[in-house]
Structure 1
Amino acid sequence: MAETSEKQVMVVAIDESEHSSYALKWTLDHFFKPVPNPLFKLVLVHAKPYATSKLGITGPGMAEVLPIVDSDLKRTAARVVEKAKEICGKKSQVTDVEVAVIEGDPRNVICEAVDKHHASILVVGSHGYGAIKRAVLGSVSDYCAHHAHCTVMIVKKPKTKH
């Protein structure tokens, strides 16, 4: 059997949530332990919403509001990427990292990134919504579990004891 130098790809979905940060940290701790050559190339994917999807309205004045909303979404994306890079930087053994910010619906963006990078594993954090919130908001992790063309790992943050 010929040995290939091509690493498998692991895509980790990132956003501004605490759950996303936890999933990234958990992934780094469990799959990128200090070894000379990690098994995976790490691809971090952030889905930046369209400005129009954040407003949900149309009409007079939209032309003035859209650039402001888009600018805010770009700042948020930059913060998400910076935080993720900082988390990865604390793990000195993580050297092969690619970051992508892609505009669109998170469900589609993540599944398309899996296909584009030929990922073996997708890691998403779970926000831990109940059935009603999940039904109303939709679950990105649930969608990805059913539609991504690779193994999907949903990382849940443990409940804190009160």
Structure 2
Amino acid sequence: MEGERVIGVAVDFSACSKKALRWAVENVVHSGDHLILVNVQSEGLYEEGEMQLWEATGSPLIPLSEFSDPVIAKKYGVKPDPETLDILDCVARQKEIVVAMKIFWGDPRDKLCEAIDNIPLSCLVIGNRGLGKIKRAILGSVSSYVVNNGTCPVTVVKQGEHEG
């Protein structure tokens, strides 16, 4: 992928990650780019199988055609919704880009920063759930951590007050 832009979007298939994906597709992704969806799942929630092979390094890049297949998606423990798949199918066709997913297991803060370096990403777009000050103090903000520790440009797409 040398010389080509590799745009990462953190996705968990929530409303705020779909908003980040839409924003990235409309504002960042250009014809010829690679769009990599980065999904991070909690440790210990997966069963035996492929996931244990890639616990340390993340899964291989999974093409859109594969993670669109419900059987393959289930094998990896992801549940892409029809709206997200539709957005991806449209952008792949219209802008002639390569779309793939990479799955990591562990703490989203650490794994998103690892993804930036390991894939490697030209930039990362991440949604922000807009936690209140108390929840953010207790849970910590994934987006704030990645902005401060990531080694590429990180864009945070904020969830509106009246959304999700």
| TM-score under structure 2 length normalisation | 0.71
What letter is aligned with 2:123?
A: I
Q: What is the Cα deviation at residue 26 of structure 1?
A: 1.1
**Mapping 1:6-155, distance limit 5 Å:** 6-32=3-29, 37-38=31-32, 40-51=33-44, 75=74, 77-80=77-80, 84-91=84-91, 92-94=93-95, 95-155=97-157
Question: Aligned partners of 1:85, 1:137: CA distance in 2, in Å?
Answer: 30
Q: 1:113 to 1:83 in 2, by over 3 A?
A: farther
Q: 1:133 to 1:119 in 2, by over 3 A?
A: same
Structure 2: state its 5+ residue gaps.
Answer: 52-72
1:23-80 deviations in Å (ceiling 9; x for gaps): 10111111236xxx34x3111110011126xxxxxxxxxxxxx85xx9xxx8594213
| 2:29–2:35 Cα contact (<8 Å) kept | no
| 1:11–1:42 Cα contact (<8 Å) kept | yes
Q: 1:120 to 1:5 in 2, by over 3 A?
A: closer
Q: Whose helix proportion is higher, 1 or 2? A: 1
Structure 2 counterpart SS, 1:7: coil
Q: 1:117 to 1:43 in 2, by over 3 A?
A: same
Q: What is the Cα deviation at residue 128 of structure 1?
A: 0.6
Q: What is the Cα deviation at residue 81 of structure 1?
A: 7.3
Q: 1:5 to 1:113 in 2, by over 3 A?
A: closer
CA RMSD of aligned residues (A): 2.8
Question: Aligned partners of 2:99, 2:113: CA distance in 1, in Å?
Answer: 19
Structure 1 counterpart SS, 2:162: coil
Q: 1:31 to 1:93 in 2, by over 3 A?
A: farther
Question: Aligned partners of 1:132, 1:79: CA distance in 2, in Å?
Answer: 30
Q: What is the Cα deviation at residue 88 of structure 1?
A: 0.7
| 1:10–1:122 Cα contact (<8 Å) kept | yes
Q: 1:116 to 1:5 in 2, by over 3 A?
A: closer
